Homo-oligomer: A and B are copies of this chain.
Amino acid sequence: MGKFRVSNSEYVQPFHRLQTQLSDLISETPPGERLPAEPDLARQLGVSRATLREAMRSFEAQGLIRRRQGVGTFVVGHPNIIETGLEVLESIEKMARKIKLDVSMGDLQIKEIAASPTHAQAFAIEEGSPLMDVRRVIFADNRPVAYLIDIVPEDVLMPSALKDGFTGSVLDFLLRQGSPQPISSSTEIQAIPAPPDIAHALEIQRGDVLLLFVAHLYSTDNRVIAYSLSYFIPGYFKFRVVRDVTSEHPFA
């Protein structure tokens, strides 16, 4: 069939109808409750499972439902949103504390790596130079919401020092350490489909959309002391920027 005829000249794609039906179903289901299993739901709604799953994708991306393999699909209550201005640089932990959100870290991995071409360019060092690679998942309300990767030269972040007192924030760690002294960062904002490994860590589907911040952290002596990739699940974060109109504008 593919599509089905509603009147002589009007086709309605299952997808559009499905989105409405799903939206209703989700809003009628109490948060925390499980939805019917996909094969059942597909039968109920009169579509194939593939079409149903495609329509469900956008709801998951908005954080309204959560799918857990082997368990089920659950309706999520209105999530607590981590909201922050981008005027100042601060760790997720500090942002979260401000809004009294329970944030924790998991899946911490610390590796020594050799500088890739990308790393070499970021730090203005030679390829193959030793670097520390620190990556972890950030949880808020027991839900993974961000995946953070920090790349730091070994002389900036002693591997041994990391063993103690690392709570998830490389920035906070460097600030406590005191030297070199972080002073500012330059961040590029992108949106990308989640790479498979990160999708897995964040318990989302590969290809789901993520916000990506690529940041260079500078010290007081103007050196790049950290290069970081921060992947955020949209819907759990809200980033705000205040901008001024350029002064030379009016008669440009």
Contacts and interface: CB of A to CB of B under 8 A. Distances in A.
Given A206-B15, A209-B192, A185 B242 contact: yes
Contacts of A249: 90, 175
Contacts of A182: 245
A14 to B, nearest CB: 12
A186 B242 CA distance: 4
Interface in A197-224: 206-207, 209-211
A114 interface: no
Contacts of A15: 196, 206
A70 interface: no
Contact of A62 (B94, B171, B192, B238): B192
A4 interface: no
A127 to B, nearest CB: 21
Nearest to A234: B191
Contact of A244 (B88, B171, B210, B242): B88
Interface string A163-175: 0000000010001
A90 B246 contact: yes
A71 interface: no
A78 interface: no
Contacts of A192: 61-62, 209, 234
Given A188-B240, A191-B234, A211-B191, A245 B61 contact: no
Contacts of A238: 188, 190
Given A89-B243, A89-B246, A245-B184, A191 B210 contact: yes
Nearest to A88: B246
A2 interface: no
B209 A244 contact: no
A79 B190 CA distance: 15
A187 B245 contact: no
A176 B184 CA distance: 36
Interface string A149-172: 000000000000000000000010
11 contacts: A54-B207, A58-B193, A86-B189, A88-B243, A175-B250, A176-B250, A188-B239, A189-B241, A192-B209, A192-B234, A241-B241
Interface of A: 15-16, 50, 54, 57-58, 61-62, 86-90, 94, 171, 175-176, 178, 182-193, 196, 206-207, 209-211, 234, 238-246, 249-250, 252
